A and B are shown apart, each in its own frame.
Chain A
Amino acid sequence: DQQVKQNSPSLSVQEGRISILNCDYTNSMFDYFLWYKKYPAEGPTFLISISSIKDKNEDGRFTVFLNKSAKHLSLHIVPSQPGDSAVYFCAPLTSGTYKYIFGTGTRLKVLA
Chain B
Amino acid sequence: EAQVTQNPRYLITVTGKKLTVTCSQNMNHEYMSWYRQDPGLGLRQIYYSMNVEVTDKGDVPEGYKVSRKEKRNFPLILESPSPNQTSLYFCASSTGQGRFWNEQFFGPGTRLTVL
Contact = CB atoms under 8 A, between A and B. Distances in A.
Contact of A104 (B42, B92, B103): B42
B45 A44 contact: no
A100 B33 contact: yes
A21 B4 CA distance: 28
A42 B92 CA distance: 12
B108 A98 contact: no
A99 B43 contact: no
A43 B107 contact: yes
B100 to A, nearest CB: 9
Secondary structure call for the B interface: strand
Contact of A43 (B42, B50, B106): B106
A102 B43 contact: yes
Interface string A25-38: 00000001010100
A44 B90 contact: yes
Contacts of B59: 99, 101
A45 B106 contact: yes
Name the residue among A34, A49, A98, A103 with the largest chain B CB count within 10 angstroms.
Answer: A98
Secondary structure call for the A interface: loop
B112 to A, nearest CB: 15
Contacts of B92: 43
Nearest to B30: A98
Interface in B35-85: 35, 40-45, 48, 50, 56, 58-59
Interface string B74-115: 000000000000000010100010000011111111000000
Contacts of A100: 33, 35, 43, 45, 48, 58, 104
Contacts of B109: 41-43
Name the residue among A41, A44, A91 with the largest chain B CB count within 10 angstroms.
Answer: A44
Interface of A: 4, 6, 32, 34, 36, 41-46, 49, 89, 91, 93, 98-105
Which 10 A-B residue pairs are closest in the complex by CB-CB distance? Answer: A43-B106, A102-B43, A104-B42, A46-B103, A102-B42, A44-B106, A43-B107, A43-B90, A43-B108, A98-B48
